[in-house]
Amino acid sequence: MNALNDLGLIIGISLMYAAPLIYTALGGVMTENSGVVNIGLEGMMTIGAFIGATVGYYSGNPWLAFLCAGLAGGVLALLHAVACVTFSADQVVSGIAMNFLGPGLSLFLSRVFFEGATMTKPIPLDQKMPRPLNGVFAQNSFLDLVFNQYATVYLAFLLVFIVWYILYKTKIGLRIRAVGEHPRAADTLGIDVYKVKYLAVILSGVFAGFGGAAMSLAAVSNFRATLISGQGFIALAAMIFGKWTPQGSMWACLLFGVAQGLVVYLGGTNIKVSSQLLAMIPYVLTLIILMSFVGKVTGPAANGVPYEKNKE
């Protein structure tokens, strides 16, 4: 029974860890399939986490907060799109700018809304994201440990399916991928390349904003400047690891989550391994699997190349 509970604990931690990463990685999948690199996901997550926590605190409505977080990420992504799509700016440089802008703006606004404090006030438990299966199973039983998750966790997996469906089963998905592979060909066939890229980039910001809110409205209940520290980049890595597909990215995020779950579990057992070594496991494991199983990964052909209509 104890082994089962330990397993439940690891799975539960994996899911909690993976959910924010999945949202953000899906954002990466969207934008990069349309040929725009977005390393600003971290910044968009940060602003999403901040707006989520702030709206959540003042309105008491987690769903409104979640949507606003997506909106905030989307607005930041719009700036990225203007720079990269309309003005053909260097996409990496613009992404770096987003990573400065997101946290900077969050801190500035935090001071405005919270009497000069650089962290938001905690949201009471009953105004956080709901846990649909809370209390259904006995506390700390296997099923409780695995399934007693916040709604954001379930939504993340739903979104994986939705993004997969859009990208591979709908006309707009085909267009997004066409624009990412060969924009000129798509253009000659009458697709508005700019419009498609704008849509994909903005959606990536919205998803990253959701990812941030999954941290600040579910994993914890407040925002502080260090809440998002590296998740955006891990999600980016997970997306590449997952070969630019939604389902692949999801597995990569889950793998990372499982590794973190193992770290926490092993750190709590009597096996005496130094915690510094344990803390390396998720990253080392990712590297090993990337090198040995995944093989050559190729992204969209025109990824990162600005498209200019009248230039050959």
Partner 1 sequence: MQKKIMAVVMIAVLALSLAACSSGGGGDKLKVTMVTDVGGVNDQSFNQSAWEGLQKAGKDLGVKVSYQESHQDADFVPNLETALDAGNDLIWGIGYKLGDPILEAAKKNPDTKYAIVDFAYEDTPENVVGVVFKQEQPSFLVGYIAAKMTKTGKVGFVGGMEGDVISAFENGYHAGVEYANKVNGTNVEVIIQYAESFTDAAKGKAIANSMYQQGADIVFHAAGGVGDGVIEAAKEQGKFAIGVDRDQNYMAPDNVITSAMKRVDVGVYNVVKDLKEGKFPGGTTVVYGLEEGAVDIAPTSDKHVPKEILDEVEALKKDIIDGKIEVPFNQETFNDFVNSL
Select the residue interacting with partner 1 from 78, 89, 109, 122 (CB under 8 A): 122
Rounded alpha-carbon distances, angstroms, from residue 140 to 133, 150, 163, 259, 266: 13, 15, 33, 21, 18
Residue 264 binds partner 1 (CB under 8 A): yes
Residue 225 binds partner 1 (CB under 8 A): yes
Select the residue interacting with partner 1 from 79, 82, 96, 107 (CB under 8 A): 107
Residue whose CB is less far from partner 1, 32 or 144: 144
Whose CA is closest to 256, among 275, 237, 271? 237
Candidates 39-47, 58-66, 108-116, 171-179; binding stretch for partner 1 (CB under 8 A):
108-116
Instruction: Please report the sign of the dihedral spanned by the C-alpha atoms of residue 176, residue 153, residue 235, residue 66.
Output: positive
Residue 146 binds partner 1 (CB under 8 A): no
Candidates 27-35, 68-76, 204-212, 261-269; binding stretch for partner 1 (CB under 8 A):
261-269
Asked if 52 and 222 count as a contact pair (C-beta separation under 8 A), the reply is no
- For residue 107, give the H/E element and its range: helix 91-113
Q: What is the chain's Cα-based Rg? A: 20
Asked if 31 and 37 count as a contact pair (C-beta separation under 8 A), the reply is yes
Candidates 22-30, 54-62, 159-167, 276-284; binding stretch for partner 1 (CB under 8 A):
276-284
Residue 13 binds partner 1 (CB under 8 A): yes
Q: What share of the chain is helix, strand, coil (3-state, %, to 5)?
A: 70, 0, 25
Residue 50 binds partner 1 (CB under 8 A): no
Select the residue interacting with partner 1 from 78, 265, 290, 304 (CB under 8 A): 265
How far, in whole angstroms, is CA 63 from its chain's centroid?
Answer: 18
Question: CA 227 to CA 53: how far, in whole Å?
Answer: 11
Candidates 83-91, 115-123, 155-163, 204-212; binding stretch for partner 1 (CB under 8 A):
115-123
State the number of binding residues for partner 1 (CB under 8 A).
41
Candidates 175-183, 243-251, 257-265, 298-306; binding stretch for partner 1 (CB under 8 A):
257-265
CB of 134 to partner 1, least distance (A): 9
Write the single-letter amino acid at 234. I
Q: Which of residues 124-143 bind partner 1 (CB under 8 A)?
A: 125, 139-140
Hey, what are 44's tokens? 């968009």
Rounded alpha-carbon distances, angstroms, from residue 52 to 66, 186, 279: 6, 37, 29
Question: CA 50 to CA 212: how far, in whole Å?
Answer: 8
Select the residue interacting with partner 1 from 175, 177, 197, 224 (CB under 8 A): 224
Candidates 73-81, 154-162, 173-181, 218-226; binding stretch for partner 1 (CB under 8 A):
218-226
Whose CA is closest to 217, among 275, 282, 155, 289? 155
Hey, what are 50's tokens? 């901040």
CB of 123 to partner 1, least distance (A): 10
Residue 60 binds partner 1 (CB under 8 A): no
**Interface residues toward partner 1, by CB under 8 A:** 5, 9, 12-13, 16-17, 20, 107, 111, 115-119, 121-122, 125, 139-140, 145, 215, 219-222, 224-227, 229, 260-261, 263-265, 267-268, 275-276, 278-279
